[in-house]
């Protein structure tokens, strides 16, 4: 049995297959996922699992060099933005309109759906290298 933190087989497989500058997205329960984008649905019920729980779990296994967030998170969910900055303090952030973030999901290896029910709790993680 796997010893590391991500034990969901689909998610672990996606992370293991990523290379430098590939994208993985994590988001709230309401984020529309483009046709053709793999969706890993972890949502069980409202707020379970939370966006931050899933993000922290993924970060334990994935090197991240850059993140993309919806510009709207600044005003509509500043608490979530602060939490993201706390777990990724040295990672550059690009803010884009939410409409663009939704379009960019089609460029990700997968979208991980959480049970999060707060607005604009969506992120695109760009993989870095560990060497």
For 1-35, the pLDDT digits (tens) are 777 899 999 999 999 999 999 999 999 999 999 99
Question: Which pLDDT belongs to residue 126?
Answer: 98
Look up residue 112 and give its two tokens: 């991980």
121 is an annotated ligand-binding site residue: yes
50 is in an annotated binding site: no
Question: Could you tell me if 36 and 106 are in contact, meaning their C-beta atoms sit under 8 angstroms apart?
Answer: yes
Instruction: Assess whether 109 carries a catalytic annotation.
Output: no
Residue 49 CB contacts under 8 Å (≥ 6 apart), including other chains: 42, 43, 114, 115
Any known ligand binding at 12?
no
| Structure letter (DSSP) for residue 37 | S
Q: Alpha-carbon dihedral of residues 119, 102, 73, 64, nearest 10 degrees?
A: 110
Give pLDDT, residue 47.
96
pLDDT < 50 positions in the chain: none
The predicted pLDDT at position 4 comes to 83
2.60.200.20, 3.40.140.10, 3.40.50.460, 3.40.1650.10: CATH of 20-127? 3.40.1650.10
Do the annotations mark residue 68 as ligand-binding? no
Of the residues 7, 20, 75, 97, only one is catalytic, namely: 20
- Check residue 41 and report its DSSP letter: E
| Residue 3: predicted pLDDT | 74
**40: three-class secondary structure by DSSP:** strand
């Amino acid at each position: 049995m796997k010893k590391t933190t991500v034990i969901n087989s689909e998610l672990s497989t996606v992370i293991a297959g990523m290379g430098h500058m590939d994208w993985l997205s994590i988001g709230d329960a309401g984020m529309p996922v483009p046709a053709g984008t793999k969706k890993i649905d972890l949502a069980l019920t409202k707020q379970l699992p939370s966006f931050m729980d899933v993000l922290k779990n993924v970060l334990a296994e994935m090197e991240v060099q850059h993140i993309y967030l919806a510009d709207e998170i600044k005003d509509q969910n500043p608490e979530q933005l602060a939490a993201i900055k706390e777990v990724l303090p040295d990672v550059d952030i690009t803010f884009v309109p939410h409409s663009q973030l939704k379009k960019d999901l089609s460029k990700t290896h997968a979208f991980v759906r959480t049970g999060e029910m707060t607005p604009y709790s969506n992120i695109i993680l760009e993989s870095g290298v560990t060497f």
